[in-house]
Amino acid sequence: MKLKSPLFLLLASPALLPLISQAEELESSQRRARASTPAAVAAPDRHAVPPLNLAMPLPEVAVEYVTTRTIEGERHAHGHDHPAPGTVTWRFFREHDRIDIENLEARTGERWQRDGNTQFFFKTFHADRRSVEYRMDDLKVINAALSWQQHAMLIDPSVLRALTEQDAGWRDGYPYRRYAGTVDGERLDVVWRVDLNLPVVLERERADFRERTELKAAHALASAPWRRPDQTDYDVIDFADLGDRERDPFVLRVQAQLPGGDVHHH
């Protein structure tokens, strides 16, 4: 099980990001993006679009996204490793040593924390006031990605660099660059907000599966209108101890939602 980023942990996607191959499909994707996102405007002469700089210090932000998935026909019923179709509203909180993603409807969350070179991951269930903690050894066992940049930008930086720039400009006062390409058989189209180093629009497509993630609101973390749920009194279960709690009703109920949960399933 390859865990690529907090976004894909939250949304249960088994793959990387991605989209694009044929020229006609790219043109169609460009038309859809222009029709469904705010109109781009040329940058004022005095404000050139900044270059892509994935190594810059990342601003602390709180962002709300909506992800919509569609699967054509009935082919997804059996034998397809896709997340279920539907729409999910979620929030992303980023600070220097902590990243949170909150699924508002499901009342579940993902949290990455780091202490120097050591990373920790928590899968959180707010209705139960419980979380499952994964330490470095656990993350290696389940083959989780341990790139902090990848978690903090919601995409593997090497994937973004592999895409081809399509255009650049200013939209609603912020600089963007648009990239498209094919990675691991998926077509990917990304509108990238250069000042935040986060996607504004991310579309991916593979065969009958299509997914669109769109940024709806972004705030500086210190002045954001949303707060992360207080987890100070949550019961924390070590991932390594799940095998000893297989009869725990809570563990039985959430095991399918846990990254690497099948490791302890017998």
Is 233 part of any domain? Answer: yes
Q: Rounded to whole angstroms, how far apart are CA atoms 239 and 99? A: 19
Beta partners for residue 114, in sequence order: 119
Q: What's the structural domain count of the chain? A: 1
The H or E element containing residue 31 is helix 23-36
Is 1 part of any domain? Answer: no
Which domain, by its residues, includes 34?
6-264
Q: Rounded to whole angstroms, how far apart are CA atoms 143 and 14? A: 12
Q: Rounded to whole angstroms, how far apart are CA atoms 109 and 107? A: 7
Is 29 part of any domain? Answer: yes
Look-up of token digits 């895409």: 163
- pLDDT tens track, the chain, 266 positions: 344 444 444 444 332 332 222 333 334 444 444 444 444 444 444 479 999 999 999 999 999 999 999 998 755 444 456 678 999 999 999 999 999 999 999 999 999 999 999 999 999 999 999 999 999 999 999 998 889 999 999 999 999 999 999 999 999 999 999 999 999 999 999 999 999 999 999 999 999 999 999 999 999 999 999 999 999 999 999 999 998 888 899 999 999 999 987 655 54
